[in-house]
A and B are shown apart, each in its own frame.
Chain A
Amino acid sequence: MNKLSLFGLLRLVISRDLMLAMRRRADVLTTLIFFVMVVSLFPLGVGPELGMLRKMAPGVVWVAALLASMLSLGRMFSADYLDGTLEQMLLAPQSLSVLVLGKILAHWMLSGLPLVLMAPVLGLQFDMSVQSLWVLIASLLLGTPVLSMIGAVGAALTLGLRGGGVLVSLLVLPLCIPVLIFGTGAVEAAASGMSVASHLSLLGALLVLALVFTPWVTAQALRISME
């Protein structure tokens, strides 16, 4: 029997969450299918005028990604809360923040990463240029982890509450507005031939800021929810 290192704990939590998701694939697929459906409804609803579609593409994809990432937030801690695993996590002799970071990363891999991979395919429906598509991928890659991290704080705060699912969206969506603004801003800048560096740098800064603070805040929120 060996003592588990901090990195070992991170790996354990991530691999556990991925393994659980693979045994319960429906949860992962609902997020992705929701994203695909919402984005695909717009060309059908608005009509096939290419100029307009191209103009609204970044906003539509980003808003759909934001809504899709809300869907899976409720499940982030609730299953562990209900079966008592969360109690054991709080009693882990290592940093709870690292453990929470592991859960956030696993959540992103299961709900954020599939959206990033699917986005270019959906972008084609809106006649986006190749360069815009690359910027869209980059902005989603930087932005979706922030959504998972902010979402984790909301999910931890609403743990065990009735109607927590709706409440978490109301709490988290306003906080995600900066990510939305810089994410769509980057793609719009690329479409109009301007530099995207400033938007992406700001998204990167948000990511670093969230990476530093949200695991700790989430850990504190979980301790409060446990009382």
Chain B
Amino acid sequence: MLEISNLACTRGDHQLFSGLSFSLSEGELLQVQGENGKGKTSLLRMLCGFLAPAAGEIRWRGQDIRDLDEEYYAEMVYLGHLNAIKDELNALENLRIGAGLAGCEVDDKEAIAALRHMGLRGRETLPVKVLSQGQRRRVALARLLVGNAPLWILDEPLTALDVGAVGLMQELIGTHLAKNGMVIFTTHQPLEVAGVETRRLTLA
């Protein structure tokens, strides 16, 4: 369970938010809302430990994430604005390396199955630079399928995705929540998951 208490964020001299408290437990879906520049990405980056909070703390299963460090990282996946895929490599190599960095070794069969599930059949061994933006995003999202981390932190996961892929994401998040996973995400597009109530947190 993820608990955030009294969190504050400053960038430069500008205070983005303060006194932010919420918690996220198993099977819950949380959408962070807010206009551009209200600190959605900063909040998610704080949850990843990239940014140090100006005040307050972030606890995972009762312990501060800064103390947990690698134990915490083993239980979370972060997908940012950047896809973290290499143009020179093909989709399969990208996925295997991405999963490897996240600490799990994936064989070709699992990786190909994940890519096909993301609708990339026939594109597995093409260099990523010939794929479209949406297909690249799908390669990045395939990483969610090969890991078993309970906490997903997704920053604008739906960018560049078509209607079919958005449906696929809804289904993915649905199955993850059903397995007692937790998802925290930002999006400007509507994303509803059947049978799950989306909690909303608005930064203002």
Contact between A227 and B51, CB atoms less than 8 A apart: yes
**Nearest chain B residue, comparing its CB with the CB of A23:** B88
In whole Å, how far is B109's beta carbon from the nearest beta carbon of chain A?
11
**Nearest chain B residue, comparing its CB with the CB of A8:** B105
Contact between B103 and A84, CB atoms less than 8 A apart: no
**Nearest chain A residue, comparing its CB with the CB of B106:** A1
The number of residues on chain A lying at the interface, defined by a beta carbon within 8 Å of a beta carbon of chain B, is 28
Is the C-beta of B101 less than 8 angstroms from some C-beta in chain A? yes
Is the C-beta of A12 less than 8 angstroms from some C-beta in chain B? yes
Specify which of A23, A85, A91, A93 lies most central, judged by the most chain B CB atoms within 10 Å of its CB. Answer: A91
Contact between A92 and B50, CB atoms less than 8 A apart: no
Once the chains are docked, how many angstroms separate the CA of A89 from the CA of B102?
A: 8
Once the chains are docked, how many angstroms separate the CA of A183 from the CA of B82?
A: 42
Is the C-beta of A90 less than 8 angstroms from some C-beta in chain B? yes
| Per-position 1/0 for A87-114, Cβ under 8 A of B | 1111111110001000000000000000
Is the C-beta of B110 less than 8 angstroms from some C-beta in chain A? yes
Contact between B84 and A93, CB atoms less than 8 A apart: no
**A20-B89, A92-B103, A93-B103 in contact; A84/B80 too (CB < 8 A)?**
yes
Contact between B101 and A89, CB atoms less than 8 A apart: yes
The residue that A91 contacts in the complex, of B85, B89, B102, B110, with Cβ under 8 A, is B102
Contact between A88 and B98, CB atoms less than 8 A apart: yes
Chain A residues whose CB sits within 8 angstroms of the CB of B102 once the complex forms: 88, 91-93
Is the C-beta of B178 less than 8 angstroms from some C-beta in chain A? no
Could you list which residues of chain A lie within 8 angstroms of chain B, going by C-beta atoms?
Answer: 1-4, 8-9, 12, 16, 19-20, 23-24, 82-85, 87-95, 99, 226-227
**A12-B100, A20-B89 in contact; A94/B70 too (CB < 8 A)?**
yes
Contact between B89 and A87, CB atoms less than 8 A apart: no
In whole Å, how far is A188's beta carbon from the nearest beta carbon of chain B?
43
In whole Å, how far is B112's beta carbon from the nearest beta carbon of chain A?
14
Contact between A83 and B100, CB atoms less than 8 A apart: no
The 9 closest A-B pairs by CB, nearest first: A84-B82, A93-B74, A84-B84, A23-B88, A93-B103, A93-B73, A12-B100, A2-B105, A85-B84
Once the chains are docked, how many angstroms separate the CA of A87 from the CA of B49?
A: 10
A-B contact pairs, 5 of them (CB 8 A): A1-B148, A4-B103, A83-B83, A83-B85, A91-B78
The residue that B73 contacts in the complex, of A9, A16, A92, A227, with Cβ under 8 A, is A92
| Per-position 1/0 for B58-102, Cβ under 8 A of A | 000000000000110110101011111111110001000110111
**A83-B82, A84-B82, A227-B52 in contact; A92/B101 too (CB < 8 A)?**
yes
The residue that A12 contacts in the complex, of B83, B88, B101, with Cβ under 8 A, is B101
**Nearest chain A residue, comparing its CB with the CB of B76:** A91
Is the C-beta of B146 less than 8 angstroms from some C-beta in chain A? yes
Is the C-beta of B48 less than 8 angstroms from some C-beta in chain A? yes
The residue that A95 contacts in the complex, of B70, B105, B110, with Cβ under 8 A, is B70
In whole Å, how far is B124's beta carbon from the nearest beta carbon of chain A?
16
Is the C-beta of B104 less than 8 angstroms from some C-beta in chain A? yes
Contact between B103 and A94, CB atoms less than 8 A apart: yes
Chain B residues whose CB sits within 8 angstroms of the CB of A82 once the complex forms: 82
**Nearest chain A residue, comparing its CB with the CB of B127:** A23
Once the chains are docked, how many angstroms separate the CA of A88 from the CA of B50?
A: 11
**Nearest chain A residue, comparing its CB with the CB of B149:** A93
- Name B89-141 residues within 8 Å CB distance of A: 89, 93, 97-98, 100-106, 110
Contact between B86 and A4, CB atoms less than 8 A apart: no
Contact between A88 and B100, CB atoms less than 8 A apart: no
In whole Å, how far is A216's beta carbon from the nearest beta carbon of chain B?
14
Chain A residues whose CB sits within 8 angstroms of the CB of B48 once the complex forms: 87, 91
**Nearest chain A residue, comparing its CB with the CB of B84:** A84
In whole Å, how far is A183's beta carbon from the nearest beta carbon of chain B?
34
In whole Å, how far is B136's beta carbon from the nearest beta carbon of chain A?
10
The residue that A3 contacts in the complex, of B73, B80, B89, B105, with Cβ under 8 A, is B105
Once the chains are docked, how many angstroms separate the CA of A92 from the CA of B80?
A: 15
